Amino acid sequence: MLALSGISLSSGIALGRAHRLQPRELEIPRRTIEPDEIETEIARFHAAVEATRRHLDELIANLEKKTPGAHATAHEFLDTHRLLLRDPEIIDGTVTAIRDTACNAEWAVQTRQTAIADSFAAIEDPYLRARIEDIEHVTRLIIEALTDGRAPVLLNSPRLQGGAGDLAGRIVVTRVLSPPQVTLLHQHGVSALVLEQGSSFAHAAILARSLGIPALIGVHSALTLIKEDDELILDGHYGVLFVMHSDRLRRHYRDKQHDLAFQVAADLDAKEPIKTKDGVALDIYLNTEEPAEIAPPRGSGLAGVGLMRTEFLFLDRRPADEESQLAHYRAMLAAAGGRPVTIRTFDIGGDKLLAGDRPQGGGENPALGLRAVRLGLNHPELLRRQLRALLRAACDGPLRILLPLVTTAGEIRQVRRMMQQLIADLPAAEHPPAEHLALGAMIETPAAALAIHTLLPEVDFVAIGTNDLSQYTLAADRLDPAVGYLYDPLHPALLRLISHVIEQAEARGIPVSLCGEMAAEPKYAGVLIGLGLRAFSVHCGAVAALARRLKTLDAGRCRALMQRALKDPDFDPQALLAAIDGSTQPP
C-alpha cells in the first residue's frame, strides 16, 4: 500500500478508480500572414473569443441546473474569466499585435499573454501577480478554440469526449486545474480531485469546496506514482490518499462513507433540546466552513459553530485580504443567526503545510515547530490582518476567536494585547460590542492540558482538540499509518488529560467544548459525558447519529464508570465501552 499526503480541502471521503489527466502541451507556431489576410485573421480571433464565451456560459448554465446552491461561488470565478474575454489588454492588445506584426492569431494571443505576464512579474503586489493565472487560463482557452476552430478543449481526456457522467465515481489525478476545468469535471460526475500542485490552485480549490468535491492538493509526484485505473481512497479529514490499499481498508472507508451519507441526510430537531436520559442538557456545535450547513432549517437545532477552520483562506498564493476574510466571517455569522460562531485563527504548519513560499513552519520536525499561533506571533502582520477582520465581523454577532496550539499563557496574552490595540485603532463604528467577543484557546498539547490552570485566567472559553492532543500525548504522528495503532482516543493518558481540563474549566466557570474527531464518534459519547463534557463540536455528517446516541445515555452512570476507569490499573477500553453500552436504553 502507498499512502500519499497532501493538503485537504474538505473532510469528505472518496473511493474510486484513478483517471489521470496529463497536461496537454500546446504547440503554437508563428505564421506570417499577407496584408489582405489581416482582417480575416482578426475575425477568426473574435470568433474564438465568442466560442470561449459560449463555452463558459454553457458551463454556468449546466452548473445552475446541477448544483443550484453552489453556483454563486462558481459564478464568481467563471465570471472573472468571462470578464477577461472583454479585457482590452487581452482583446485589443491581440488585435493590435495581429495588425502590427502580421502574425497569426494564436501567436498574437500567446505574445500578448507573455507580455502581460512579464508586466505583472515586475509588480511587487503578489495579488496582482496572482491574477496572471486567470489570464493564462483564459488565453489558453482562446488559443485552443483557435487551434481547432471549435470550442476550447478544457481537458485533454478521451473520457470527456462523451456525455456528462463519463467520469462518474472517478478520482481525477492531474497537475493543476482552473475553475472552468473544475466545473467541467464536476459536470462529468468526478468524485474527487488529486492535484500535484497547490500554489496556483486557489480559485479552483474554493470552487471544489463549494461544489462539495473532496480534493487533495500538493500531492507530490501523484502523476508518476498513480497509474490509470488504480483504486484510490481519499480521506479528506486527514489529507491522505491511499493507493493499492487492502480490502479491509476499503471496507472500513465504505462503511464510513455510508454513515456520512446517511447522517448528513438526517436533521436535528430544533424544538427538542438534547438531553441525556437522566435530563442533563447538552449542546452540539458544528465544525464547519460552509455557512449553508448551519443555516436553518437544516442546522437549526445546533447550538452554533464550535470550530470554523480558516486555513482555506490562506491556500492562495497570497492569503485572503482583510475584506475577503471579513466577507467569509460575516457570511458565517449571518447563517448562524445570533448563535455563537467560533472561528479559529489560521493553523498553518505541522500537517497543514501550504504550498508555495509563504510563511509556514518548516524545521526538522514541523509538528513541533513554528505552527498555528506560534507562526501567527512570528508573522504578526498575517495574524493582525485576520484579527482585524474578525473584530470587524464581531459587530454582526457573537464571535469567539479560538487560538490553535496554545502552549503558554503568554501566547494568549500577546494575542489579547494585539486585539486591544487593533480595537483601539478601529473607527468607533467598527468597535465590536464587548458581549460579542470572546477569546479562547485550543487545548491540543499536553502542556496546555496539564497547565490548564495557568491558561484559564486568560481565556473566555476553551476547546479541546483531541486530534492533536492525541498526537502529542501519544507521540504518534496523526498522518503516519505505521503508528496508527497507537493513536487511540481511549488511551488512559488522554482520558486523564481531558478529564483534568474539563474539571478545571468547570471549577472556574469557563465553558469547555471538544471539537476533535473523537467528539464525532458516537461510541465515545458516553466516555466524554462521563468525563463531564457537555458541549460537542462535530462535522455536519456526524450530528444526527451523535444526537441519537446522547439521548440514550445516563450521564450519572457514565460519570461513575469513568471515575472508576480513570483509576483502574487494569483499565480495559473495550470493557469500558461495553459497560457504557450495557447501560444505554433507547431514548
Catalytic residues: 203, 515
Minimum gap (Å) between residue 405 Cβ and ligand PEP: 8
| Buried/exposed 286-313: b ≥16 CB within 10 Å, e otherwise | bbbbbbebbbeebbebbbbbbbbbbbbb
| DSSP SS3 for 338 | coil
User: In the window 520-539, what residues touch ligand PEP (CB under 6 A)?
Assistant: none
| DSSP SS3 for 192 | strand
Q: Does 468 sit near Mg ion (CB under 5 A)?
A: yes
C-alpha–C-alpha distance, residues 172 and 185, integer Å: 8
Minimum gap (Å) between residue 235 Cβ and ligand PEP: 13
Matching residue, cell 486527514 = 238
Minimum gap (Å) between residue 356 Cβ and ligand PEP: 20
Q: Which does 466 bind (CB under 5 to 8 A by kind): ligand PEP, Mg ion, none?
A: ligand PEP
Q: Which of 11, 110, 113, 466 binds ligand PEP (CB under 6 A)?
A: 466
- Binding mask 270-289 toward ligand PEP (x if CB under 6 A, else -) reads --------------------
Q: Does 465 sit near Mg ion (CB under 5 A)?
A: yes
Structural contact between residues 344 and 403, judged by C-beta atoms closer than 8 angstroms? yes
Instruction: Determine the interface stretch with ligand PEP among 13-21, 138-146, 360-368, 461-469 (rule: CB under 6 A).
Output: 461-469
Q: For the chain, first and last CA: distance in Å?
A: 43
- Binding mask 408-447 toward Mg ion (x if CB under 5 A, else -) reads ------------------------------------x---
Q: Does 347 sit near ligand PEP (CB under 6 A)?
A: yes
Nearest to 236 by CA among 432, 390, 12: 12
Q: Which of 293, 444, 458, 554 binds ligand PEP (CB under 6 A)?
A: 444
User: Which triple of cell numbers denotes residue 294?
Assistant: 448551519
Nearest to 378 by CA among 353, 400, 346: 346
Q: How many residues bind ligand PEP (CB under 6 A)?
A: 10
Minimum gap (Å) between residue 464 Cβ and ligand PEP: 7
C-alpha–C-alpha distance, residues 474 and 337, integer Å: 39
Q: How would you classify the pairing of strands 7-8 and 2-5?
A: unpaired
What is the DSSP track for 460-490?
A: SEEEE-HHHHHHHHHT--TT-GGGGGG--TT
Q: Which of 177, 525 has the CB closer to ligand PEP?
A: 525
Structural contact between residues 18 and 230, judged by C-beta atoms closer than 8 angstroms? yes
User: In the window 294-313, what residues touch ligand PEP (CB under 6 A)?
Assistant: 307, 309
Q: Does 351 sit near Mg ion (CB under 5 A)?
A: no
C-alpha–C-alpha distance, residues 534 and 545, integer Å: 16
Q: Which of 347, 411 has the CB closer to ligand PEP?
A: 347
Q: Which of 349, 398 has the CB closer to ligand PEP?
A: 349
Q: Which does 384 bind (CB under 5 to 8 A by kind): Mg ion, ligand PEP, none?
A: none
Q: Which of 6, 432 has the CB closer to ligand PEP?
A: 6
Q: Does 517 sit near Mg ion (CB under 5 A)?
A: no
Q: Does 349 sit near Mg ion (CB under 5 A)?
A: no
User: Which triple of cell numbers denotes residue 312?
Assistant: 482555506
Q: Does 467 sit near ligand PEP (CB under 6 A)?
A: yes
User: Which triple of cell numbers denotes residue 451?
Assistant: 497547565
User: Which triple of cell numbers denotes residue 313?
Assistant: 483562506
Minimum gap (Å) between residue 374 Cβ and Mg ion: 13
Minimum gap (Å) between residue 474 Cβ and ligand PEP: 13
Minimum gap (Å) between residue 349 Cβ and ligand PEP: 11
| DSSP SS3 for 360 | coil
Q: Which residues are registered as beta bridge partners of 535?
A: 283
Q: Which does 291 bind (CB under 5 to 8 A by kind): ligand PEP, Mg ion, none?
A: none
Q: Which of 465, 530, 532, 541 binds ligand PEP (CB under 6 A)?
A: 465
Report DSSP state, residue 167.
Answer: T
| DSSP SS3 for 275 | strand
Q: Which of 235, 468 has the CB closer to Mg ion?
A: 468
Question: In residues, how long is the chain?
Answer: 587
Q: Which residues are registered as beta bridge partners of 399?
A: 341, 437
Binding site residues, ligand PEP, CB under 6 A: 307, 309, 347, 444, 465-468, 515-516
Tell me which residues touch Mg ion (CB under 5 A).
444, 465, 468
